[in-house]
Structure 1
Amino acid sequence: MPELEDFSPALREQPDPAQIQRNVLEEQVELWWFREPRKSLLCYCVSVGLILACGLGGVVLLSTTTSLSSEWRLGVGTALCLLALAVLLKQLLSSAVQDMNCIRSRRRIEILKSGGLSDHMVILVTGLALLICGTVLLNLAVASGLPQPGLTLNDMFISGVVLLAVGGATVLAVAIYSAVVFLLERTGPGQRLRGRAVGVFTISGQMNETRERPPPAWPTSSEARTP
């Protein structure tokens, strides 16, 4: 009787449950929006802060417009309100696209999600716009011989300094944040953190059952030769 080959359990390639679970999770489009919760939360908080700061600043300038300072208050107040509206529109657009589940491309989701490239660009553009507004106000104030004690137009100089400081801080924060994220992605901890995040989700209890189930007892060559 010909000898049968030895199909021992050690020679059989066992599937890795963790790898199977990771592959299944990678196919879930809904989870692509939440792969980096810390980054998303940070960018969301910054966006909300910019909306509140620009909106309140614009409303204050528009509500205090007088005949002596109507031009610059009206212009800067309108610009601040438009900036707040732009940041708010981006957040609403991302939420609407996520709820409709109309995008199935990982690249587009990485751009549109909270904490993605679109958030960075919106915050950067807002900071640059604040810098431009602050610079224009300071130039106008200096050209008018401000600041001088007792003049109402000193508000122009103060507003320019505030806008310049907020805009510069925003642009600097975006630059530092981008550099830190780039370094983390190059050195590797970002990849390990994303790998850990996958382990948070569970698919079903069948994975544990597959892991605990003993391998089938395959007959050895000596047992197969016995009549």
Structure 2
Amino acid sequence: MSELEDYSPPRGHLHPDPARIQQNLLEEQVELWWFSEPRKSLLCYCASVALILGCGLGGVGLLSTTTSLSSEWRLGTGTALCLLALAILLKQLLSSAVQDMNCVRSRRRINMLKSGGLSDVLIMLITGASLLICGAVLLDVALSYHMPKPGKALNDMYISGVVMLVGGSFTVLAVGIYAAVVFLLERSGPGQRQWERTVGIFSISGQMQARRETASSLARLI
């Protein structure tokens, strides 16, 4: 016991916290800032893909069925849907290009450009609002014709307006709920969540560090 007491560290000596040192080192890695919130990034990426497929397929479908009787509204609506899908796709490609080039070193800009950041929220909100406006316009035009048998063109316009109105409402509502949840989580405890993300992503490193500390302690006891 006396030998162990001689080799024991003094009580007043403060050991550096390995977890804190590891967290500080990870905080300085710019490449890891793009992947700091994997669940949020995956959710927004899947939502972007769904919007691209929905708007793109809807726009192509309207453009491919354009006839002389319904050329104006099909051409305009189909073009608007294709442009919305292209805008979302360009945002995703831009984020990937900036990430690959590693030309942005600001945490604020990375948090804005990465998947799940502010840019995703804004472009999805704009997409939802555009769908709402287009759907409302189509419904207004279709309902303005007070005819007993409006015909297939007006029926297609009415159905397209309803689909776009429902899709736009769902998108705006989902973005609003997402923004509210993220805001509440940010207010609840950003430090604790950052620690949980760090431990979750680098759990293997933490386990190795724990094993080294255990082996070191056993060595000192022997």
**Runs of 4+ in structure 1 displaced over 6 angstroms?**
none
1:99 maps to which residue? 100
**In the alignment, what sits opposite 1:221?**
none
Question: Could you state the TM-score of these two structures normalised by the residue count of structure 1?
Answer: 0.85
Displacement of 1:23 after TM fit?
A: 0.4
Does structure 2 retain, via aligned residues, the 8 Å contact 1:17–1:207? no
- 1:213 maps to a residue whose letter is S
Q: Percent identity?
A: 66
Superimposed CA distance per residue, residues 66-110 of structure 1 (whole angstroms, 9 cap, x where no aligned partner): 111000000000000000000000000000111111111000000
Q: Matched residues in 2 for 1:35 and 1:88: separation?
A: 22
Q: CA deviation at 1:148?
A: 3.9
CA distance in 2, matches of 1:150, 1:90: 40
Equivalents in 2 of 1:146, 1:112: separation in Å?
Answer: 50
Question: How do 1:5-154 and structure 2 match up within 5 A?
Answer: 9-145=10-146, 148=149, 150-154=151-155
Q: 1:106 to 1:211 in 2, by over 3 A?
A: farther
Using the TM superposition, give the Cα deviation of residue 205 of structure 1 relative to its aligned residue in structure 2, in angstroms. Answer: 5.4
Cα 1:121–1:146 change in 2 (3 A) is: farther
Larger Rg: 1
Counterpart residue number, 1:166 = 167
Normalising to structure 2: TM-score of the pair?
0.87
Secondary structure of 1:67 counterpart: coil
Higher helix fraction: Structure 1 or Structure 2?
2
Structure 2: 5+ residue stretches without partners: 1-7
Supply the distance in 2 between the matched residues of 1:146 and 1:117 (Cα, whole angstroms): 46
Distance 1:191 1:13, change over 3 A: closer
CA–CA distance in 2 between the matches of 1:79 and 1:182? 31
CA distance in 2, matches of 1:111, 1:181: 14
Q: Do 1:147 and 1:154's aligned partners in 2 also have CA atoms closer than 8 Å?
A: no
Deviation at 1:154, TM superposition (A): 1.1
Distance change in 2, residues 1:209/1:181 (3 Å)? same
Question: Bigger relative contact order, structure 1 or 2, given CA contacts below 8 A and separation 6+?
Answer: 1
Q: How many residues align?
A: 210
